[in-house]
């Protein structure tokens, strides 16, 4: 059974710091991995999607890497801002078509000004 | 990009009543939609996979008679919580993928906060 783990569970940093969020998964037979952002009481906003054949994806100050063989992904946030404060979730999609995403519990990030 | 609309965003109901939550794909068709439940400070747990024109597939431990799912069209799936109880209070989110494009990512609705009193 696929399990997704995110470390740390919570993180507090001052504005301007670069930070890394970690995600690990037990079964490397994934189709892709997706990082989401969730604000309190809200739905999910997709940040980055990495296909299993890819090593990384970048969007603005965000960079996500994927090492499928070791079952790990990292989300790098450069020059953090208070507006980045949210819960970040990673999710994997298994190789079988039509399957739902399996989520980690998330990392709650707080960026202070 | 693909947009999924979910309504209502929040609802309060009395114990024993039923509540319907709608999930619509606004600019694409989705033969498959997914319903998740999220408890405070917990991850999203898949409840069921909604299939257009056929019965939903429920995850282990999810009561299909309590959480009725209907996917009558390619753009609409509904989740009805029947005979709601306080323990059903939770955050419910649906998601879908635009199968008509090369995009492989899933889009999520804004969620529904259900409170049963």
Using CA atoms, how far apart are residues A22 and A72, in angstroms rounded to an integer? 7
Q: Considering only residues 38 to 97 of chain B, which have any Cβ-Cβ distance to chain A shorter than 8 Å?
A: 41-46, 49, 91, 93, 95
With an 8 Å Cβ cutoff, the interface of chain A facing chain B consists of 4, 31-32, 34, 36, 41-46, 49, 51, 89, 91, 93, 98, 100-106
Q: CB neighbours (10 Å) of residue A35? A: 23
DSSP A55: S
Tens of each residue's pLDDT in chain B, 117 residues = 788 999 999 999 999 999 999 999 998 888 889 999 998 878 899 999 998 888 899 999 999 999 999 998 999 999 999 999 999 999 999 998 877 665 667 889 999 999 999
Residue of A nearest to B51 (CA): A98
Select from B43, B91, B110 the Cβ nearest to the Cβ of A105. B43
| Backbone angle region of B64, left / alpha / beta, with phi > 0 → left and psi within -120 to 50 → alpha | alpha
Q: Which candidate, A101, A111, A30, A108, places its Cα nearest to that of A72?
A: A30
């Amino acid at each position: 059974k696929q399990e997704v783990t995110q470390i740390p569970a919570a993180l507090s940093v001052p504005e301007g710091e670069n930070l890394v969020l970690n995600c690990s998964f037990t079964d490397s037979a994934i189709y892709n991995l997706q990082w989401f952002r969730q604000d309190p009481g809200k739905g999910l906003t997709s940040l980055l999607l990495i296909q299993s054949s890819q090593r990384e994806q970048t969007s603005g100050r965000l960079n996500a890497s994927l090492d499928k063989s070791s079952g790990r992904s990292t989300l790098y946030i450069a020059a953090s801002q208070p507006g980045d404060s949210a819960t970040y979730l990673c999710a994997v999609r298994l190789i079988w078509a039509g399957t739902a995403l399996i989520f980690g519990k998330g990392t709650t990030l707080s960026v202070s000004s | 990009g693909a947009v999924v609309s979910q309504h209502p965003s929040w609802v309060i109901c009395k114990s024993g009543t039923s509540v319907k939550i709608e999930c619509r794909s606004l600019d694409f068709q989705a033969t498959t939609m997914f319903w998740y439940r999220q408890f405070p400070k917990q991850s999203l747990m898949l409840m069921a996979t909604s299939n257009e024109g056929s019965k939903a597939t429920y995850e282990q431990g999810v009561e299909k008679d309590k959480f009725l799912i209907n996917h009558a069209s390619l753009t609409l799936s509904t989740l009805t919580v029947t005979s709601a109880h306080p323990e059903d209070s939770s955050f419910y989110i649906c998601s879908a993928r635009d199968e008509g494009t090369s995009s492989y990512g899933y889009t999520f609705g804004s969620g529904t906060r259900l409170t049963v009193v």
